[in-house]
């Protein structure tokens, strides 16, 4: 019997018992949908982390007061790090900037201070106001929708200029024309000179609700750096091959600055993309295995249900099998017929699961986190569902193929 004829018989059998087929497929549909949604979320998260790292340069590094992957493991390590690690200061930044030879750009960024920002009668509470050096726009590859970023001369002069997120413009300048307009922060007027391209939200947190001002203006507005207004440095190596050397050079000069003996550990942290991705893999790896394995149980249950229904189908169609054998059908023809029927059921369930997962992914991407449904995930889902269909159909198909035609014809 040709495969196309076998497939037609399988589809006809599925169509003849529509309700039973739908109920049979539920486990497979739920399992495939859950596995793909979880896998897409994990891939989307990984892609988000990679893009954020790429946005500040694939070969950039950050100098922090704390190593968040090592110092924040428990209360004891946090307390020890707070005693050991001094706060970073602008003097440290100037010290490094004058001495680093393998770093093409070194920028500084002060933590966002939740502040009241207003224009006329419109008031926004808790807006993060960041202070940065002018070269942060180059280092972080900031995408500017309108206007410009501030310059070194504006930073040196402590100019009251502001680069803002699109949410600030939407709320304070509803009629547009934000460039050149003024906003008020802590009773001081700031002139808006640029607007960042909208980024949306991640994990429900808006990425476009901020104000960035020159770091020297920030210091004059909020007070000296430190005392909770933490500082970080970001550097880019002059060439990619020298990236690790640039990090070691920065570490050397920071240790010189802190006067650390050779046998004493760093009282600061240097974080690179490799460190972030390594930490991500260590955290997400085991979670991903469990997150994918749990919905996989639904796939196993779906396979058991398909096997059970196929056994029922063999019992119901005993006489049909006897007639086909009497007309010359061989064992392998019967085996192939029921095996193809089981695989067809699984493939239909897998296809519906993929469609549902795609629709759920669109909703999740719109409100929580952008998901990523790769072609490999689709191929794996269809392959796994087909393999489950084969495994679930082998025993019922084997049982149907071994029926004695005489006994089968006697069946009611």
Q: For 255-264, write each residue's pLDDT tens digit.
A: 999 999 988 8
- Rounded to whole angstroms, how far apart are CA atoms 375 and 372? 10
DSSP string, 165-181: -HHHHHHH-TTS--TT-
- Rounded to whole angstroms, how far apart are CA atoms 172 and 167? 8
Two tokens at 262? 């050779």
- Rounded to whole angstroms, how far apart are CA atoms 370 and 362? 8
Instruction: Tell me the mean pLDDT in the region 72-88.
Output: 81
At 361-399, the pLDDT tens digits run: 888 777 766 777 777 777 777 777 777 777 776 766 666
Give me the residue label for tokens 């019967």. 334
- Rounded to whole angstroms, how far apart are CA atoms 69 and 279? 7
The answer to which of 158-162, 217-221, 335-339 has the lowest mean pLDDT is 335-339
Which SS3 state, helix, strand or coil, does residue 200 take? Answer: coil
Instruction: Tell me the mean pLDDT in the region 41-58.
Output: 64
User: Looking at the DSSP assignment, which residues form a beta bridge with residue 119?
Assistant: 122
Per-residue pLDDT at 226: 67
At 27-37, the pLDDT tens digits run: 778 878 887 88
Per-residue pLDDT at 35: 79
Quick check: 215 and 156 in contact, CB under 8 A? no
Which SS3 state, helix, strand or coil, does residue 191 take? Answer: strand
pTM equals 0.65
Instruction: Tell me the mean pLDDT in the region 276-294.
Output: 67
At 134-189, the pLDDT tens digits run: 999 988 888 999 999 999 999 999 999 999 999 999 999 988 789 999 999 988 99
Question: For residue 149, which of 95, 211, 201 has the smallest C-alpha distance?
Answer: 211
Phi-psi region of 109 (alpha: psi -120 to 50; beta: other; left: phi over 0): beta
- How far does Cα 287 stand from its chain's mean position? 13
């Amino acid at each position: 019997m040709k495969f196309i004829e076998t497939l037609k018989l399988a589809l006809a059998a599925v169509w003849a018992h529509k309700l039973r087929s739908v109920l049979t497929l539920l486990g497979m549909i739920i399992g495939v949908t859950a596995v793909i949604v979880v896998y897409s979320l994990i891939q989307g998260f990984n892609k988000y982390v990679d893009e954020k790292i790429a946005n500040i340069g694939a070969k950039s590094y950050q100098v922090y007061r704390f190593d968040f992957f090592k110092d924040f493991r428990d209360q004891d390590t946090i307390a020890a790090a707070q005693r050991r690690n001094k706060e970073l200061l602008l003097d440290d930044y100037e010290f490094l900037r004058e001495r680093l030879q393998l770093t093409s750009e070194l920028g500084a960024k002060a933590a966002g201070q939740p502040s009241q920002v207003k224009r006329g009668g419109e008031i926004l509470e808790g807006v993060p106001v960041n202070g940065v050096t002018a070269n942060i726009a180059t280092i972080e590859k900031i995408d500017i929708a309108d206007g410009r970023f501030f310059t070194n001369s504006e930073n040196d002069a402590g100019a009251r200029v502001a680069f803002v997120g699109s949410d600030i413009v939407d709320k304070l300048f509803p009629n547009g024309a934000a460039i050149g307009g003024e906003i008020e922060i802590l009773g001081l007027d700031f002139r808006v000179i640029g607007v960042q391209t909208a980024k949306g939200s991640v994990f429900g947190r808006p990425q476009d609700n901020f104000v960035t001002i020159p770091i020297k203006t920030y210091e004059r507005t909020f007070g000296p750096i430190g005392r909770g207004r933490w500082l970080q440095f970001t550097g880019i190596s002059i060439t990619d091959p020298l990236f690790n050397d640039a990090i070691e050079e920065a570490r050397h000069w920071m240790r010189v600055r802190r006067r650390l003996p050779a046998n004493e550990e760093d009282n600061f942290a240097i974080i690179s993309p490799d460190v972030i991705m390594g930490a991500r893999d260590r955290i997400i790896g085991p979670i991903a295995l469990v997150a994918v394995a749990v919905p996989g149980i639904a796939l196993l249950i779906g396979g058991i249900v398909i096997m059970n229904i196929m056994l029922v189908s063999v019992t119901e169609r005993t006489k049909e099998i006897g007639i086909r054998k009497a007309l010359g059908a061989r064992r392998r023809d019967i085996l192939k017929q029921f095996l193809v029927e089981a695989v067809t059921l699984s493939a239909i369930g897998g296809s519906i699961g993929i469609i549902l997962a795609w629709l759920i992914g669109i909703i999740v991407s719109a409100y929580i986190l952008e998901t990523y449904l790769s072609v490999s995930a689709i191929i794996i889902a269809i392959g796994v569902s087909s393999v489950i269909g084969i495994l679930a159909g082998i025993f019922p198909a084997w049982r149907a193929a071994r029926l004695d035609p005489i006994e089968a014809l006697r069946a009611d």
